[in-house]
Amino acid sequence: MVSKFTTFYRHIIDEERKYPEATGQLSDLLADIALACKVISLEVNRAGLIDILGFTGEENIQGEEVKKLDVYANDVLKHVMKQGGHICAVCSEEDVDFIPLEEKFADNKFLTNKYICHFDPLDGSSNIDVNVSIGTIFSVYKRISKSGPGSLQDCLQKGTEQVAAGYVIYGSSTVLVYTTGEGVHSFTLDPSVGEFLLSNEKINIPKKSKTYSVNEGNFCKWDKGMKKYISYLKKIDSHTGRPYSSRYIGSLVADFHRNLLYGGIFMYPSDSKNKKGKLRLMYEANPLSFIVEQAGGKSSDGKIRILELQPENLHQRTPLFIGSHEDVTLLEKFLVEESVEEIAQS
């Protein structure tokens, strides 16, 4: 519980003051993202009232073109990013290519477009029309190139290079979770004042959990190790807290958020159909991995730490195992080791 009345902007400014050399640009950028997400939140909340779901291209009663929510969210984020002037490129899960941006403050040597932003504007899109929690995921990198619009090389950096990451979940309330590498903090939107207020500081994910999240309908497509791990979690053993409970919303942000607070392991493995898994490295896996590690958890593609994967293209997919540290470590053993019979039998 937090007794202080701290807004998101106050929090990032306080963090920034710990670094005398900071120009304030990252704080401004994060504040811009929060602003865009407030606008998206409003539209998500209104989605059931106004008839905008699933009707891209049609006109509403004001004669304006109606957009699907994911298209709308993408447009809002890009618009706010362009206006802010702190980034040299924006990459979105909704767009095929990255969008290079010109310098806005070319005459000010202290303000440059030195950052890159990656967005999944509306994650969990298959849940949009049925009132299930969805979210926006973001991550921020520093550019590698010196000046001008950003390049593909700027956009394809390893997850270890992220300077900030977070997500906003549009659920029973709108919650923003972020890290700049100094712990994970969450803020709840108070719609009456229009501010994100600090609700949870320095979040720690439980080291071991009793919950797994996976689309078990894919069971027959998984490899042996994955099948054995899930079967292991379902066996009764009070010593190791089994059987685990199963919780799967099918909205990554929502599943991740629950596991972050209560403990859990989220899995989207590769399978016989999707050899590289389903989720996107740059837009989903990297930001959530930065957050989970900052909260004391772990994230892996089954063998390698997600943050150390070298991206080769913007929409690259990866298997993802993310959550409580001990659970991800045990899962890796099932996937990697030749002989898992011993653990599986125990």
The site for ligand FDP, by CB under 6 A, has a size of 12
Nearer to ligand FDP by C-beta: 38 or 278? 278
Question: Reduced to 3 states, what is the DSSP secondary structure of residue 7?
Answer: strand
Question: Counting contacts by CB under 6 A, is residue 54 touching ligand FDP?
Answer: no
| Residue 147 contacts ligand FDP per CB under 6 A | no
The reply on whether position 272 binds ligand FDP by CB under 6 A is no
Minimum Å gap between C-beta 251 and ligand FDP is 5
Query: 54 or 194, CB closer to ligand FDP?
Result: 54
Give the one residue of 92, 139, 157, 251 binding ligand FDP; rule: CB under 6 A: 251
Assess 259 for contact with ligand FDP (CB under 6 A).
no
Residue selected from 94, 123, 271, 293 as contacting ligand FDP according to rule CB under 6 A = 123
| Of 16 and 123, CB closest to ligand FDP | 123
With CB under 6 A as the contact rule, which of the stretches 106-114, 192-200, 219-227, 249-257 interacts with ligand FDP?
249-257
Q: Which residue in this structure is represented by tokens 């991995």?
A: 289
Name the amino acid, one letter, at 300.
S
* Cβ contact 229:328 at 8 Å: no
Our finding on whether 195 is near ligand FDP (CB under 6 A) is no
279 in contact with ligand FDP (CB under 6 A): yes
The dihedral over CA atoms of 133, 96, 278, 67, expressed in degrees to the nearest 10, equals: 30
Quick note: the x/- pattern for ligand FDP over 281-320, rule CB under 6 A, is: ---x------------------------------------
Q: Which of 60, 108, 126, 147 binds ligand FDP (CB under 6 A)?
A: 126
323, 218 Cβ separation under 8 angstroms: no
User: In 3-state terms, what secondary structure has residue 167?
Assistant: strand
Is 128 within 8 Å of 250 (Cβ atoms)? no
104/100 Cα distance (integer angstroms): 12
Separation between Cα atoms, residue 334 and residue 184, nearest integer Å: 29
Choose, by CB under 6 A, the member of 121, 124, 263, 269 that binds ligand FDP. Answer: 124
User: Quick check: 269 binds ligand FDP (CB under 6 A)?
Assistant: no
* CA distances to 44, 122, 146, 226, 311 from 139, in Å: 21, 14, 20, 29, 14
What distance in Å separates the CA atoms of residue 324 and residue 321, rounded to the nearest whole number? 10
E-state strands within the chain: 87-92, 99-100, 115-123, 134-142, 162-170, 174-179, 184-190, 195-200, 211-213, 245-246, 265-268, 279-280, 298-300, 317-318, 320-323
Q: What is the token pair recorded at 163?
A: 């300077």
Nearest residue (CB) to ligand FDP, 7 versus 125: 125
> Based on CB atoms, which residue is closest to ligand FDP, 31 or 205?
205
Q: How is residue 257 written in tokens?
A: 């958020």
* Residue span binding ligand FDP (CB under 6 A) among the ranges 4-12, 35-43, 84-92, 250-258: 250-258
User: Between 125 and 329, whose beta carbon lies closer to ligand FDP?
Assistant: 125
Residue number with CB closer to ligand FDP (47 or 88): 47
Q: Do you know the residue count of the chain?
A: 346
- For ligand FDP, the binding residues (CB under 6 A) are 123-127, 215, 250-252, 278-279, 284
